[in-house]
Structure 1
Amino acid sequence: MKASRDNSMKDSLISPDGKKELVPVMALYGANAAGKSNVIHALLLMRSMVCGAYAKPLKGASLPQEPFAFTSAPSEPTRFEIIYYYKGIRYAYGFSFDKDRILTEYLYHWPNGREALIFSREKDRFEFRENIQEQTTLAGRTAENRLYLVSSNEWNCAQTEKAYQWFFEKLMESAETEMSLQATLAAIEKGGKEKRRIVEEILHADLGIKDVRVAGSREKPNILAVHHLKDESGKETEYSLSMGQESMGTQHFFARIGIWMEAMQKGAVLVVDEIESSMHPLLTRHLIEMVQDAAINTRHAQLIFTTHDTGLLDLSLLRRDQIWFAEKEEDSMQTDVYALTEFSPRKDENIARGYLQGRYGAIPFIGGGAAWEE
């Protein structure tokens, strides 16, 4: 998400340290089974191993490695690395693992603009730069199938705390799950400004809903969408529908908008697979424009999403360095991910038409020949 030298929409760029420029949005296109969702899944698996379901495996438990399937060679370790900013400080964190153990792990930061090691690990061998005695003790308490970034934070290690907090606070997923819905419900239940922002977005989306009310228990909430109807005389009457009776598009927007607003408020990185799912293209565009607008996105939230919606291939919406493609190599079944900037398109070029014509790759090949026989 590092910005290129593209001069378009410079106002939308964000700078976490006052020097480096980053794009707020990245769109990833590709055919079905091209591997674009795996880019999302890899990022979320990394988070899950730091602060999610796989963060605290029991001693001896297997790790969630899924090695490349299309090879007869022995499986290689899985490797992750991510470079990010937290409170203006740049971090580089990475690790590798197999089914049984963490093989390597490292964390660097740039507190004064210069690279400095926090820790490095090769199996059971650790290296530290600060607080060496205490961290050596913590390393001895770290099981071979656990990340040191996780175990050290359980003991309030100051050297790794902030790097860990980014995963916990700033990396979020918007999926069609109860988790996404709960963010919307929590905002409505808080009332005041939190609820007002949700209702304003629903009104802006022109879903016909004037208000949302929540009854029932926290375990079984009854979400009611309030509609106002007028008869021929102009008399207005209020009706309520259960959210389950609304259209799928309305339900998806309602479930998504809460976590969207939460990400904007936190300045988080929001990850979405198939952003257009069951929503009108204009609604999808509106959600993206919120993140692109520096006047709205004041806390530097970022959005990474996969999509098939060619209507978003618009250089008035996204810069050329914000549009990426995933293409699977037919012979090796490996996925190649590359940016639109590699093709140097003109600023006035019709990107959507060029993509559908196969100019940038990453589209399905629909074979010719007779599809039906008598």
Structure 2
Amino acid sequence: MLLQFSVTNHRSIKETAVISMKAAADKTMKEILISPDGKKELVPVMAIYGANAAGKSNVLHALLLMREMVCGSYAKPLKGATLPYEPFAFVDGKMEPTTFEIIYYNEGIKYAYGFSFDKNQIINEYLYHWPNGREALVFSREKNKYEFRESIQEQMTLSGRTSENRLYLTSSNEWNCSQTEKAYLWFQKNLRGVIATGATNEITIDAIRRGGEEKQRILKEMMLADLGICNVELSGTIENPIVSTVHQLVDNSGISKRYTLLLGQESIGTQRFFSRIGLWIEAIDCGAVLVVDEIEASMHPLLTRHLIEMIQDQTINQNHAQLIFTTHDTGLLDLKLLRRDQIWFAEKDEKSMQTDIYALTEFSPRKEENIARGYLQGRYGAIPFIEGGI
């Protein structure tokens, strides 16, 4: 479970921006809250609003880039290769490093992990955990100088094998380091993301291919979404699958007939829901943190709402998965759907071009307040300024 993420000096974010899943002292919708330890309460869903180019997507980009540097496409750079360093551009003089920090729970244990980097090297890196409710250092690093609390000699050997442009959390796990293993596996297994233009059908197709209960869960959600689809069939090869949807119609005489369409012949909204429902179910099963940019892209508002409600419903989301998404859909600004501490905003300063991230709770809105109307009226900021008219 994710508690908090912070980013400094990345794209439009210059000063430290923090998002937190910690529940506020709000008595409404208590039934949706989740807990990693039976004490602390977290929200399962966070929505981030903001104008185009305000920087809301940059928060998610930073979180997913952190994952990519730990266990993804940037985890194994060649010695001397440059790192994915995208600092705030509107500065004079020396560029400062980018910093990521994340606080999360894995198997009931709290972890705090962070690092700073520029285009050439990891400048610092650290990992703390709370195995018995008390803070303990796992490792810390300042360039090539390390400090360890356990298995010091073994880890010093591993640190010597870690190049200046690689994370120790990553390299140590190539050698089965027990001290960092669980912290690393959370990134690999429990942090996932999708951007609006990068939707893939792979996870949904894999579930359908396995058949049985997994396929039935996909079909059930497709039917609940009222897409008129009663079955999904696969042909082609594993490398190049062909997806067909089956529709059942009843003619005037009451005779039932089935018709088949290629998935590409379905509406864009249906295709989008198909691509996402497998990802949603997998995240729910694994208790993962799902990060989605523009959740409403090409989908009907009721389908978007249904995906959110799946995460909020603890009878469905029994493993406490979480969802963080950006959106422009003001229909989701509904205090019957989202608590006040689940709504966040991104706003860019017109003079400095810096992004500021803040929560709705900073405005202390009343429980009966129309949040959507207040947002569109500019009461909370984070909307575009449109000068003049037609």
TM-score bucket of the superposed structures, by smaller chain: over 0.9
Whole-Å separation in 2 of the counterparts to 1:129 and 1:88? 21
Choose the corresponding residue for 2:216, options 196, 208, 219.
Answer: 196
Whole-Å separation in 2 of the counterparts to 1:76 and 1:94? 16
Choose the corresponding residue for 1:50, options 54, 58, 70.
Answer: 70
Within-5 A mapping of 1:136-215? 136-175=156-195, 180-215=200-235
Residue number in structure 2 paired with 1:217: 237
Choose the corresponding residue for 1:328, options 343, 348, 358.
Answer: 348
Whole-Å separation in 2 of the counterparts to 1:331 and 1:348? 35
Choose the corresponding residue for 1:254, options 265, 274, 281.
Answer: 274
The structural deviation recorded for 1:73 is: 2.7
The structural deviation recorded for 1:178 is: 7.1
Residue number in structure 1 paired with 2:152: 132
Residue number in structure 1 paired with 2:44: 24
The structural deviation recorded for 1:177 is: 6.7
Deviations 1:267-293 (A, max 9, x none): 000000000000000010010011011
Residue number in structure 2 paired with 1:233: 253
Within-5 A mapping of 1:266-345? 266-345=286-365
Q: Does 1:358 align with 2:362?
A: no
Deviations 1:318-369 (A, max 9, x none): 0000000000011110000000000111111100000000000000001016
Whole-Å separation in 2 of the counterparts to 1:18 and 1:296? 19
Within-5 A mapping of 1:52-91? 52-91=72-111
Whole-Å separation in 2 of the counterparts to 1:32 and 1:150? 35
Instruction: Tell me the SS of whatever aligns to 1:59.
Output: coil
The structural deviation recorded for 1:176 is: 5.1
- TM-score norm. by structure 1 comes to 0.98
Q: Identity of aligned pairs, percent?
A: 72
Question: Residues 15 and 132 from structure 1, CA distance in 2 versus in 1: closer, same or farther, beyond 3 angstroms?
Answer: same
Please list every run of 5 or more consecutive structure 1 residues that lacks an aligned counterpart in the other structure: none
- CA contact 2:196–2:297 (8 Å) conserved in 1: no
AA aligned opposite 2:335: L
Please list every run of 5 or more consecutive structure 2 residues that lacks an aligned counterpart in the other structure: 1-20
Q: Give the aligned length.
A: 370
AA aligned opposite 1:30: G
Question: Residues 63 and 76 from structure 1, CA distance in 2 versus in 1: closer, same or farther, beyond 3 angstroms?
Answer: same
Whole-Å separation in 2 of the counterparts to 1:95 and 1:306? 25
Deviations 1:155-202 (A, max 9, x none): 000000000000000001134577731100011011111000000000
- CA contact 1:180–1:259 (8 Å) conserved in 2: no
Whole-Å separation in 2 of the counterparts to 1:55 and 1:230? 54
Whole-Å separation in 2 of the counterparts to 1:28 and 1:326? 7
Instruction: Tell me the SS of whatever aligns to 1:225.
Output: strand
Residue number in structure 2 paired with 1:111: 131
The structural deviation recorded for 1:234 is: 1.0
AA aligned opposite 2:174: E
Deviations 1:71-113 (A, max 9, x none): 1231100000000000000000000000100000000000000
Structure 1 runs of 4+ aligned residues shifted over 6 Å read: none
Instruction: Tell me the SS of whatever aligns to 1:180.
Output: coil
Name which of structure 1's ranges 229-238 and 120-129 shifts more when overlaid on structure 2. Answer: 229-238
Whole-Å separation in 1 of the counterparts to 2:242 and 2:355? 44
